[in-house]
Amino acid sequence: MATLICGSLAFDTIMTFEGRFAEQILPDQLHILNVSFLVPGLRRDFGGCAGNIAYAMRQLGGVPLPVATLGNDGADYLERLRALGIGTDFVRQIEGTYTAQAMIMTDRDNNQITAFHPGAMMQAHLTRIEARPDVKLGIISPDGRDAMLQHAEQFHAAGIPFVFDPGQGLPMFGGAELSHFVDLATWVTVNDYEGRMLCDRMGVELHDLSRRVKGLVVTLGGDGCDIWEAGVKTHVPAVQPAAVVDPTGCGDAWRGALLHGLEQGWPLARCAMLGNQLGALKIASRGPQNYQVDATVLAQA
């Protein structure tokens, strides 16, 4: 069975700042902020939420189908997806635009500053989602605003259960819109900051929110994650990584593992544990799509 992954395909330009952002930014001078960071390390990777999640699922043996758009510079990304065995049935190229671009700067404490140009992503709503016999699951991850709204409605109309993962796209929506997303979704995933913002905008608490879906997961970075089911919280501890090299794409690796587990019909706690394992594996590699899942990870799942 296949999983539809709605979100961005992007090129990530990843830069390494050897100092600490906090030492370069004066809190009392934010109103006249003018800073420059020397970044000796720079590389370009394939990225974007849909691409990163699809990569993780494929590493685990799944059948991911990204629902995303590329610009006229996206031929290399299409070729890469096909080489990985990831279907491109729902990947559309938009002429006259660039593929989405993320410029990510990481300091020595793994804090990140990101600038994002959406490009072709803003046309993602042109691709419709309809019922298909081989599609079992879906996810709404950060994408163009119209695409997120329309794809959620289309998943619901097609009877396809899906994860609502608003991520960096959360600030685009007001409380009523977020509440509607939750009512359409089967599961919700957020990090701790996004969880606070989501609850604040909806005017609810996490335990109340969890009663409106089958499961709610709040990821906590190096502290693992909390699972909420029917108002009850369960903590799933973190997995210690072999090394902390690059956090870019860790959340997407986690979500790919979550979807893999949900596709197998696992309990949510088991899905989250595999997510923590994959996140730990990813953070030890540079770039969002350069780690390899070995038999050890699969055996522990």
252 is annotated as an active-site residue: yes
What's the rounded Cα separation, in Å, for the pair 196 and 52? 25
Q: Which residues contact 142 (CB under 8 A, 6 or more apart)?
A: 7, 8, 49, 148, 165, 166, 167, 168, 169
| Type of residue at 245 | V
Number of Cβ atoms within 10 Å of the Cβ of 176:
9
Distances (CA, A) of 261 to 257, 272, 297: 6, 8, 13
Asked whether 245 and 259 are in contact (CB, 8 A), the reply is: no
What's the rounded Cα separation, in Å, for the pair 47 and 14? 10
Helices (H) and strands (E) in the chain, counts: 10, 13
* Parallel, antiparallel or unpaired: strands 112-117 and 215-219: unpaired
Q: Which two tokens stand for residue 143?
A: 């994408």
> Phi/psi zone of residue 118: left (φ > 0), alpha (ψ -120 to 50 degrees), beta?
alpha
Cβ neighbourhood burial of 189 (10 Å; 0-12, 13-18, 19+): buried
Which is the catalytic residue, given 12, 107, 246, 252? 252
What's the rounded Cα separation, in Å, for the pair 95 and 77? 15
Residues serving a catalytic function are 252
